[in-house]
Structure 1
Amino acid sequence: MPPHPLKTYIVEDSRVIRENLIATLEELVPAEVVGVAEDESTAVQWLMAPQHAVELVIVDIFLKGGSGLGVLRTMQDQQPRHRMVVLSNYTTPEMRRKCLALGADRVFDKSYDIDALIAYCSQLQVATGSTHS
């Protein structure tokens, strides 16, 4: 039986990065990208809708409108809580602290942490896959 794909939502304003990330996740994890947003308000509206079940949300910090920090801030008190990771080029120690304080599970740098992101997603996929049949 094939593994249960990791239901993932991506908040990223660069179409090129988004498409490359989707292809990479679907090929290597496996993940199923169930939605995308380019701005904070679209992401929050989608994530708050009860019919949208996801296991992982990948958020960039700088978006077309609003920010990934706003997405994290809004979602940190929601139940059930989504696993949230940040994938950004702006991962200074201060920004990492801020993201983690707002509920991010992990912070990855786009330039050099893609392998670590894939490993994290694969571990999460195995963990969540065992609860679905």
Structure 2
Amino acid sequence: MPEAEADMPAVRTFIVENSPVIRENLAGTLQELARVEVIGCAADEASAVDWMSGAAASHADVVIVDVLLDAGSGLGVLSAAQRLGVAARRIVLTSYATAEMRRRCASLGAERVFDKSRQLDELISYCAALSGLCGCEEQSRTA
């Protein structure tokens, strides 16, 4: 890694995903390819809301949320993030990225919605842009 990249801070990310396999693979991929530091994870709405209610939430740059969780939903997580004033960017990664779901997520403060089956590369690029790795910070603000 070039020295300039080594000096850039990682994007601190909290992941809300019920599948341990997806959660671990997503965390590993983002850490390796997009300069993301995973600072915590939750598999259900209550655990995610508990985390967002604590001091650690102020350290997150991004919260990545799945819509379907073990208990509760990602929509509840997004709603709680709004209510709690979580400053982190809220991103949804779901298998249900319909037009209606995208509208619902946006109305709850999600900045972007990515389809798990078709847009993982776009999510990785988006996170890389946030970290400054690809030199496309403007893309992350306007995408």
Structure 1 counterpart of 2:141? none
- Picking from 121, 124, 129, the partner of 1:123 is 129
Structure 1 counterpart of 2:25? 20
Structure 2, unpaired ranges of 5+ = 138-143
Distance verdict in 2 for CA 1:77–1:5, change over 3 Å: same
Distance verdict in 2 for CA 1:14–1:51, change over 3 Å: closer
Per the TM alignment, residue 118 of structure 1 is displaced from its structure 2 partner at its CA by 0.7
Identical positions, percent: 49
Letter in 1 for 2:56: Q
RMSD over aligned CA atoms reads: 1.2
Q: Note the alpha carbon deviations across 1:10-30, whole angstroms, 9 max, x for none.
A: 000001101110110000011
Alignment of 1:75-90 (within 5 A): 75-90=81-96
Q: Note the alpha carbon deviations across 1:3-54, whole angstroms, 9 max, x for none.
A: 2111000000001101110110000011110100000010011012123410
TM-score, normalisation: structure 2: 0.84
TM-score, normalisation: structure 1: 0.91
Cα distance in structure 2, aligned partners of 1:75 and 1:55: 13
